[in-house]
């Protein structure tokens, strides 16, 4: 989820919260009395909106962690391959397609993974 989408969700969450709060206080004004239940509902709504905002923006960290985990798993898998398996993988990736030639830049002549810097 990109930041623009998170911002849109956050704005939508707070906009809907504002509408509900406005309706809540309009109903209190129509009754001519602001009761403790109105205040409690408003407080609960604000707590939920704040929690929702933190949850929306925390998704970014969770996605980055998931991507790092996938990358680490793939690195471990490639590291555990034997020389023959790495050679076979390199040959399959190279094939006849020139587009995949850049992938072989990650593998050295001996089949070991090159360090990227």
pLDDT tens for 16-63 read 999 999 999 999 999 888 889 999 999 999 999 999 999 988 877 777
- Report helix, strand or coil for 33: coil
For the chain, the domains span 3-65, 81-117
Q: Is the pLDDT of residue 105 over 70?
A: no
Q: Quick one: pLDDT at residue 24?
A: 93
Quick one: average pLDDT of 58-78? 80
Angle at 42 between CA 41 and CA 45, to 5 degrees: 85
- Report helix, strand or coil for 90: helix
Q: Quick one: pLDDT at residue 15?
A: 97
- Asked if 52 and 76 touch (Cβ cutoff 8 Å), the reply is no
Q: What pTM was computed for the model?
A: 0.52
Q: Is the pLDDT of residue 117 over 50?
A: no
Q: Which of 5-19, 54-68, 86-100 has the lowest mean pLDDT?
A: 86-100
d(CA 69, CA 54): 23
Q: Quick one: pLDDT at residue 4?
A: 86
Query: 27 in the Ramachandran plot: left (φ > 0), alpha (ψ -120 to 50) or beta?
Result: alpha
Q: Quick one: pLDDT at residue 107?
A: 62
Q: How many CB atoms lie within 10 A of CB 75?
A: 11
């Amino acid at each position: 989820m990109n930041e623009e989408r998170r911002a849109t969700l956050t704005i939508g969450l707070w906009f809907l919260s504002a509408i509900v709060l406005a309706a809540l206080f309009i109903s209190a004004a129509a009754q001519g009395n602001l009761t403790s239940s109105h205040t409690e509902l408003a407080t609960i709504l604000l707590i939920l909106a704040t929690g929702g905002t933190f949850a929306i923006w925390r998704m970014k960290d969770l996605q980055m962690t998931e991507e790092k985990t996938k990358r680490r798993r793939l690195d471990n898998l490639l590291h555990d391959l034997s020389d023959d398996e790495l050679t076979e993988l390199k040959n399959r990736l190279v094939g006849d397609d020139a587009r995949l030639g850049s992938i072989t830049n990650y593998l050295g002549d001996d089949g070991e993974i090159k360090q990227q810097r």
